[in-house]
Amino acid sequence: MKKFFNSKNVRGSLRIVLALAIGLTFGFVITLLVSEEPIVAYKAFLFGPLSQLNRIGDWLEESLTLIFLGLAITIVFSAKQFYIGLEGQMILSALASGAVAIYMPAPPIIRIPAAFLAGIVVSIVWAIIPAVLKAYLNASELVTSLMFNTIGLKLFEYLLRTYLQLPNTNGIMSERVPEDARLTTFIPNLPFLADMRAAWSKATNVSWMVYVAIAAIALAYILLYKTKFGYEIRAVGANEKFAKYGGINVKRTVVASILVSGIFAGLAGTHLVLAITERVVQGMAFGFGFEGINISILCGNNPLGVPIASLFYGYLRAGSDVMERASDVSRELVFVVQAAVLLLLTAEKLLPVVQQVVTTDEEEASQLEKGAVK
């Protein structure tokens, strides 16, 4: 048993499982305190996202966006850059993609790729100034990226109100993305899948971005662990001085890591506007901006763990929506669960305490057994 607990993979997995279990238990305790029907509320929270097809769709839609944001943060965190400007990048890329999809006079085969390209380019460009300030002036990327988030949100609102606002409406939004420019369902258009495709298309907005997300996960993993550039990112993250003495251009690597993460943030924004909201609308970020940080922490900066962490967080978000509609508990409860999980995951002493208890019990049992033999 001691050898089992000393395994690095086992220790990491157990830390996550313990953190999730304790976090969910803590959430239930809070529900007991604030709800008149805590069982009903927490049942809706835990099982609501699986109760209907449209709710399954909500879960998967949110998870897809979180996958792209998680991958973006995984790249920069691997280089030990605490860049958290994804919200500004995502919202501006959604604006750019939406504008191209709505107004570009071209057939869908050209317009959709152009919308993706516009979103990615805008996302990368928005990250240039914080990246350069960090690399060449040693300005805190945490501060500059937070400032650029605020600037990006205000710029988004200005451009939406001034150039894209749909006239004679109370809400602040653009016109809808044309149907031929929206992202279609992920289910292939095959005769034997026709009924399933129709059901999913009617009830959900889960699109072929599923396949883009899978490709993005593979790309991020290959980039980080199978290329020279990925080695440089991880070397800078492990020890910047050592990387510099080893011949790595640290400044270039810092800038490149932040800009590459912009590709994934751009995909998140494009997914939002072309598949979920289907228009540019104020408040469309849905609080996604900082969730990528949680995803990256939960998966230990490993791109292969991002989809699992994203599905978990997407499930929490979808469950909180169901709970809010079906009970007297606000969706803010999910933030309590998330906070508890993150605190426990970052508490380095959590699993060592468990390991010490187990090994102590084993040693006592071994000593008793030896005494009995004598």
Tokens 């280089």 label which residue? 79
User: Tell me, what's the pLDDT at 350?
Assistant: 47
29 and 133 share a domain? no
103 and 195 share a domain? yes
9 and 108 share a domain? no
User: Tell me, what's the pLDDT at 268?
Assistant: 94
φ, ψ dihedrals at 76, nearest 5°: -75, -35
88 and 12 share a domain? no
Is there a domain that residue 321 lies in?
A: no
The range of the structural domain enclosing residue 2 comes to 1-35+329-361
Is there a domain that residue 324 lies in?
A: no
102 and 131 share a domain? yes
Give dist(CA 267, CA 220) in Å, integer.
13
338 and 264 share a domain? no
Is there a domain that residue 247 lies in?
A: yes
Instruction: Give pLDDT tens digits along the chain (374 positions).
Output: 555 555 666 666 777 777 778 888 888 888 888 888 888 888 888 888 888 899 999 999 999 999 999 999 999 999 999 998 999 999 999 999 999 999 999 999 999 999 999 999 999 999 999 999 999 998 989 999 999 999 999 999 999 999 999 888 888 899 999 999 999 999 998 888 899 999 999 999 999 999 999 999 999 999 999 999 999 999 999 988 888 888 899 999 999 999 999 999 999 999 999 999 899 998 887 777 788 888 888 888 899 999 998 998 888 888 888 888 888 777 777 777 777 777 776 665 445 544 454 444 444 445 545 554 44
The helix/strand/coil state of 184 is coil
16 and 98 share a domain? no
φ, ψ dihedrals at 281, nearest 5°: -140, 145
Q: Contacts from 178-181 at CB under 8 Å and sequence distance 24+? A: 178/101, 178/102, 180/108, 181/101, 181/102, 181/108, 181/111, 181/112, 181/115, 181/274
Count Cβ atoms below 10 Å from residue 17 Cβ, excluding itself.
10
Q: Which residue, of 279, 294, 316, is where some domain finishes? A: 316
User: Tell me, what's the pLDDT at 2?
Assistant: 56
Give 65: exposed, middle or buried? Use CB within 10 Å, 0-12, 13-18, 19+: buried
Is there a domain that residue 368 lies in?
A: no
The helix/strand/coil state of 347 is coil
* Residue 176 near residue 277 (C-beta atoms within 8 A): no
Q: For 166, which DSSP code?
A: P
Is there a domain that residue 11 lies in?
A: yes
What total number of domains does the chain contain?
2
268 and 354 share a domain? no
Tokens of 345: 């995951």
Is there a domain that residue 369 lies in?
A: no
Is there a domain that residue 40 lies in?
A: no
289 and 173 share a domain? yes
16 and 125 share a domain? no
* Residue 83 near residue 110 (C-beta atoms within 8 A): no
114 and 247 share a domain? yes
Q: Tell me the whole-structure pTM to 2 decimals.
A: 0.87
Is there a domain that residue 104 lies in?
A: yes
The helix/strand/coil state of 31 is helix
144 and 111 share a domain? yes
Tokens of 104: 């570009």
